[in-house]
Structure 1
C-alpha cells in the first residue's frame, strides 16, 4: 500500500490520446499494457490537448487505502453503484471508485477495461452532446451516394449484419455504435465516433497478429473497421436516411417508408443514449442535480430527435442483407438523393 502519496497523482505507465470524432480523450493507466486501449482505432492528432481525461488505476498493481478512496469518491448514484461492482446496464465487475475533478476522471479498481467503453465513453459523449447542442444516438452508420444512413434497432434486430453487408457491398463505414448528430441543413450532419467493431468471427491471421482482440464478453472479438472493410472510415456526412433494422427469421422481405412519428417513438426508446444506456441519473448529476434543468435537457434531446426524423427519410427494414438481390435494392434506394 502506498503511504504518504497523493492518490490523485498516481504512477502512470501508459497513455493514449484517442479521437472520438467530436472530441479527444486521453486515457492513462498505471499498467504498462491496458486492454481498454483496444476499443479505439484512431489516435488523436499528435500533440493535441485532450478535451477529457480518464485515469484508470489498477489496485492490484498499486494498492491504495480503501478508506481514503471512500473519502474521495464522488457522491453520485453512479459512483455508489460502482462501489458495489455495478457499472452500467449488464456490466458488472469488482468494486471501483469514481473520483471526478473537473474534466479529469479517475477510476480505481480492477479489470478497468470493463468500464472504459461500456460506461465512460457513453457518459462523456452524452455530456458533450448536452453541452454543445448535439444529439447522441446509439446508431450505426454508413454512407452511400454521398450521404449518411443511420441504422438503429433493438438487440438481435440485424443492425450489425446490415452495416457489415452494406460496407462489403461498397458503402463506406461511418460508425458502429455511437453517432453524434450536429445541427445543419436538412436532417443535420452525422459524425461517427471511431471505435473497433464487435464481431463473432475473425480471420485467423487477424487474431494471430493481434489486430483482433477478444471482447470483454466471451466469444466475441473487436477489430478496427479498416481491417474488416478496407479504406478509411468516413468522419462525417449529411444525414439522408434513418433505418430501423427489424430482421426476423422467416419474416417476408419488407423495406417500407414509415412516418416520422413512428420513427421518433422507436428511436426514443432504442436509439436515444439517455434511454438505451440508462443514463438518467448521470444526466441529472451533469445538470447539478436540478430537476428542472434535467427536464429541459430531456426536452431538448426530444426536439433534436424530432427534427432529425422529420427531415430524413425513415424506413423499417425486415431484410436479409445476405441476399444479394434484396441488398442491392435496399442500397440503391438509400443512395438515391432526396426529392
Structure 2
C-alpha cells in the first residue's frame, strides 16, 4: 500500500492489517514486533495486499511533525491521560481522514485499550449499529451474549463451554446490527487458574494476566454475523455454585446498559460528542438511537443471570443445554 505523502520518510518495522469485526485496520509502527499485535488473534490478521478501512501509525522514533488534533481525547493524550484512569507519557494524536497517527512512547497501551474501541464506536455511529462490551458464543445458528463486570467470570464461562461443545465468537467486543452479532477476533486476557493451559499462552502487557488465542484452542465462528438469541449476565461468586435465573426485561436492560454498552463502559462520550462536531443535540440523537437499539435487543430475547461454576461437569452440561434450547427453557 502506498504510504501517505507526509509519512514517506518513516521506516516501518511493523506493518500488518487486522480485522476488528466489520472493519479492517492497518497497524504500522517504527517499532519491530509492535506489542499491540499480541491482542489480535491470528484469525484477525489479513493478507498483505488487503486495502484497509482505517490506518493507525504508531511512531516512537520518527516524528513527522503533523499537527495535533483538537478533540477532547487528543488533548487528554497530550497531557498523559489516556482513557478512564490510565495514564502514561504524553502522546500526540493527529487524524486525517481514515488515518490516525500517534507519536510517543509505549503506544501499545493505547491500541487495544482505546483505538479499537473508538473505531468500533465511530463505525457504529456512522452505520447505525451498536458497539457492546460482551463475549459471545453459539450452539447451532444463534448467538448468546455474555455480559458482566470485570472478574465476573465471563472468560472462564466461555472457555469452559467452548471446550465442550459451544462455538466461540468473541471474548470482549461485539457489533450488533439488525439483530445479528459480529465478534472481534482478539486474544483472551485471563488470570491464572485451572481453566488456563499455561503452555498455550503468552505474556500480556499486564504481568498478572496471560494471553490465549481462542482460535487455536476452540471451535470458532469466523463467518457472517449470527442472529442474537439470548443474553447471559455472568455473576460467578464461589466454587461449586449453580444458580440460573431468568430476568425481566427491565431488570436486564439496566444491567446491560451499564455493563455492556460500549459508550458507557469505556467512557467514550467525549469521543461521540466530537464525532458529532460538538453538537449536543446531534449527540443526544445518536445516544438515543443507540440506547433504543440496546433496549430493544434485550427486550426481544431471554436474559439470564448465570451464577455457575462451569468447571463442574453437571453445571456445564446444564448451561450447554440452555444454549441448545436457545435460552427458552
TM-score by length of 2: 0.91
Contact conserved, 2:187 with 2:211, CA < 8 A, in 1? yes
Instruction: Tell me, yes or no, if structure 1 residue 106 matches structure 2 residue 97.
Output: no
**How far does residue 24 in structure 1 lie from its aligned partner after superposition?**
0.4
Instruction: Tell me, yes or no, if structure 1 residue 160 matches structure 2 residue 155.
Output: yes
Contact conserved, 2:175 with 2:182, CA < 8 A, in 1? yes
CA distance in 1, matches of 2:9, 2:250: 51
Residue segments in structure 1 that go unaligned for 5+ positions in a row = 207-211
Q: Which residue of 1 aligns with 2:281?
A: 292
Over aligned residues, Cα RMSD in angstroms? 2.0
Counterpart of 1:242 in 2: which secondary structure? Answer: strand
Aligned residue pairs total 318
Q: 2:50 aligned to 28, 48, 51, which one?
A: 48
**How far does residue 254 in structure 1 lie from its aligned partner after superposition?**
1.5
Counterpart of 2:321 in 1: which secondary structure? Answer: helix
Q: Which residue of 2 aligns with 1:209?
A: none
CA distance in 1, matches of 2:103, 2:8: 10
CA distance in 1, matches of 2:171, 2:253: 21
**How far does residue 19 in structure 1 lie from its aligned partner after superposition?**
1.1
Q: Which residue of 1 aligns with 2:309?
A: 320
Q: Deviation per CA, 1:150-176, whole angstroms, max 9, x where unpaired?
A: 000011211111111111111010001
Residue segments in structure 2 that go unaligned for 5+ positions in a row = none
CA distance in 1, matches of 2:84, 2:55: 23
Residues 18-57 of structure 1: matches in 2 within 5 Å?
18-41=18-41, 42-57=44-59
Contact conserved, 2:16 with 2:48, CA < 8 A, in 1? no
Q: 1:116 aligned to 111, 118, 122, which one?
A: 111
Q: Which residue of 2 aligns with 1:200?
A: 191
Counterpart of 1:83 in 2: which secondary structure? Answer: helix
Contact conserved, 1:91 with 1:114, CA < 8 A, in 2? no
Residues 50-69 of structure 1: matches in 2 within 5 Å?
50-58=52-60, 61-62=61-62, 64=63, 68=65
Q: Which residue of 2 aligns with 1:151?
A: 146
Q: Deviation per CA, 1:5-58, whole angstroms, max 9, x where unpaired?
A: 956863323200011121100010012221111212221255221111100001
Counterpart of 1:92 in 2: which secondary structure? Answer: coil
Q: Which residue of 1 aligns with 2:262?
A: 273
Closer, same or farther: CA 34–263 of 1 in aligned 2, 3 Å: same
Range with greater deviation from structure 2 (126-135 or 234-243): 234-243
Counterpart of 2:45 in 1: which secondary structure? Answer: coil
Closer, same or farther: CA 204–168 of 1 in aligned 2, 3 Å: closer
Closer, same or farther: CA 55–182 of 1 in aligned 2, 3 Å: same
Contact conserved, 1:147 with 1:335, CA < 8 A, in 2? no
Contact conserved, 1:226 with 1:233, CA < 8 A, in 2? no
CA distance in 2, matches of 1:213, 1:326: 29
Contact conserved, 2:165 with 2:320, CA < 8 A, in 1? no
Contact conserved, 1:243 with 1:317, CA < 8 A, in 2? yes
Q: Deviation per CA, 1:181-215, whole angstroms, max 9, x where unpaired?
A: 110xxxx1100111111122454544xxxxx4321
**How far does residue 333 in structure 1 lie from its aligned partner after superposition?**
1.4
Contact conserved, 2:169 with 2:220, CA < 8 A, in 1? no
CA distance in 1, matches of 2:91, 2:242: 47
Contact conserved, 2:239 with 2:309, CA < 8 A, in 1? no
**How far does residue 240 in structure 1 lie from its aligned partner after superposition?**
0.6
Structure 1 ranges of 4+ moved more than 6 A:
none
Q: Which residue of 2 aligns with 1:254?
A: 243
TM-score by length of 1: 0.88
Counterpart of 1:120 in 2: which secondary structure? Answer: helix
Q: Deviation per CA, 1:51-109, whole angstroms, max 9, x where unpaired?
A: 11100001xx33x49xx56xx11111111111122211233221111101011000001
